[in-house]
Amino acid sequence: MAEQRVVIGIDSSTQSTKALAVDIDTGAVVGQGSAPHTVSGGGARESDPEQWWDALGAAVARTGWADRTAAVSVAAQQHGLVTLGADGRPVRPALLWNDVRSAPQAAELRAAIGTAELARRTGSVPTAAFTAAKWAWLRAHEPAAADRAAAVRLPHDFLTERLTGQAVTDRGDASGTGWWGGDGYDEDILARIGLDPALLPRVLAPGARAGTVRAGLPLRQGVPVATGTGDNMAAALGLGLLPGRPVLSLGTSGTVYAVGRSRPADPGGTVAGFADALGGWLPLACTLNCTLAVDRFAALLGRGRDDVEDGGTAVVLPYLDGERTPNLPAASGLIHGLRHDTTPGQLLQAAYDGAAHALLAALDEVLRAAGADPAGDEPLLLIGGGARGPAWQQTVLRLSGRAVQVPRAKELVALGAAAQAAALLTGESADAVARRWRTAEGPVLEAVQKDDDALERIGDTLRRARALQGAPA
């Protein structure tokens, strides 16, 4: 009998690290493990990268395959700023994607270069989420920490380097920094924010090997390590996503994206022109407030997350952490249109609607940027932690007017990383591996009539509340 070949894919997300051990031939998950992270509260969103490393070791060990895996790959949350000293240790906690303190620095960068020029050069218009703004914030507010930095990394870069000793990244994750221009680092932008390009990792070609596991680590020495990538790029791989197929991901953040053949350049900033982990592009829109924001509303109302009710005219903009789409980093949560007969269940449904609205409002722009027809009838792939929730499913159906498909496969970010690892051994592209594993298969929920009244009510409230939410009047 042939020996079973298994790879491990790792997802280092905002809240935890998950690891999946996956059979290369069948795609069956034969082991899994997880370990939590902590994130600071208040005005900052920071996390100690050392706990990511500890969590990786714990999660990998719990799969039962750490000493037998044939290859490994790491995917992780995008945008985070990891600063390392000369000893390879973090100078300070990492600034995470949802830390909006760098909004003024993002605005300064947009004003200095111009949104159209930034979109042309980097594919995106930077907001507070982008790593370039975070480095500029660090330079302005903690110059001593910036001066001590001997290396600047993204979360997946940091973990891959710990495994291999190699300072490398991939084009997908690099495209979320605001300083990568499609064919290399943009030295003018780096100069403007005071970042020496010598501190940055080398960008590997798609499908390249990052290195091998060093001795004395949680995984077996000598195991090949794939390039890894950002979480959204890994999920696209995990689905085996073909160009033009729309995806809506419901997690701590919400994203909507599709694979395209050419890099978009949206000067309005709604669509980020990210690269995928292969040779194409991943136009994407992202919100800061998604499942955790809605769960917070449920807790405030004393209801279960699916205890929603139809009807009512209340509008909730659940921008509890500021917002990225629309770009309102100083925003807070807002409730409008309460009546005597508004019920808690209706208010909770309004929170779902407000969270989904921002993503679905960007869907057509994302599809156009991907070169796809927004009026196409392909089902919307619904993934992420919220995808199996009945209230989320019904909200997306009602507000999108599209059929929705919910893949049976779980932990698609880790599956995408596993597909990258498998591709090192099989010679396939990682997305072809995932299609062979049939990861996107799942039930299709039939389309229902779009709730245009709710969409108009939310859009009208948002337009009238922009000044209140920190946008120019």
Q: Which secondary-structure segment (H or E) carries 164?
A: helix 155-164
Identify whether 218 is preceded by a cis peptide bond (ω within 30 of 0).
no
Backbone φ, ψ for residue 113 (5° rounding): -105, -30
Virtual CA dihedral for 234, 238, 244, 245, nearest 10 degrees? Answer: -130
The DSSP call for residue 12 is: E
Over the range 377-406, which residues count as b (16 or more CB within 10 Å of their CB) and which as e?
Answer: ebbbbbbbbbbebebbbbbbbbbbebebbb
Backbone φ, ψ for residue 420 (5° rounding): -60, -45
- DSSP for 177-236, written as a single string: SSSB-SSSB-HHHHHHHT--GGGSPEEEPTT-EEEEPPTTSSS-TT-EEE--EEHHHHHH
Selected catalytic residue, list 231, 321, 353, 431: 231
231 is catalytic: yes
> Is residue 468 within 8 Å of residue 337, measured between CB atoms?
no
The encoded tokens of residue 310 equal 């139809």
Please report, as a single letter, which amino acid is at residue 203: V
The DSSP call for residue 342 is: -
- Residues annotated as part of the active site: 231
